[in-house]
Amino acid sequence: MAKIMLVEDDEKLRNNIYSFLKCKGYDVYDDMDFKDVIAYFDKVNPDIVLLDVNLPYDDGFYICSALRRKSHVPVIFISARSRDIDSFCSLLP
């Protein structure tokens, strides 16, 4: 089954996503130190990354750009942001 690296600092949301993915049979890796997400990525070598935008040390955009320098693994951004200004759709013409 696919290995999913879950990078989410909100414990309740992380636990919900983790439980859902595990019950669907995925291998989920979420036990990381948010100070070194890239090292954890290297250790896990996931098939896909679910990446929060707001994290305690580096934001998701910075981490994604660091991942892109070393891998083409799919990255899906997850976020609890709800304001219109935070939406990528609000940037489209």
pLDDT at 93 over 60: no
Domain that holds residue 70: 51-81
Q: 9 lies in a domain? A: no
Yes or no: say if 57 and 35 are a contact pair by the CB < 8 Å rule.
yes
For 6-30, write each residue's pLDDT tens digit.
999 989 999 999 999 999 999 999 9
Q: 88 lies in a domain? A: no
User: For the chain, how many structural domains are there in total?
Assistant: 1
Q: 46 lies in a domain? A: no
Q: 87 lies in a domain? A: no
- With 0-12 / 13-18 / 19 or more C-beta atoms within 10 angstroms meaning exposed / middle / buried, residue 70 is exposed
Q: 58 lies in a domain? A: yes
Q: 43 lies in a domain? A: no
The residue whose two tokens read 């759709």 is 89
Q: 45 lies in a domain? A: no
CA distance 79 to 8: 9
Residues near 17 by Cβ (< 8 Å), separated by ≥ 6?
A: 6, 8, 50, 78
pLDDT at 56 over 70: yes
Q: 72 lies in a domain? A: yes
pTM: 0.83
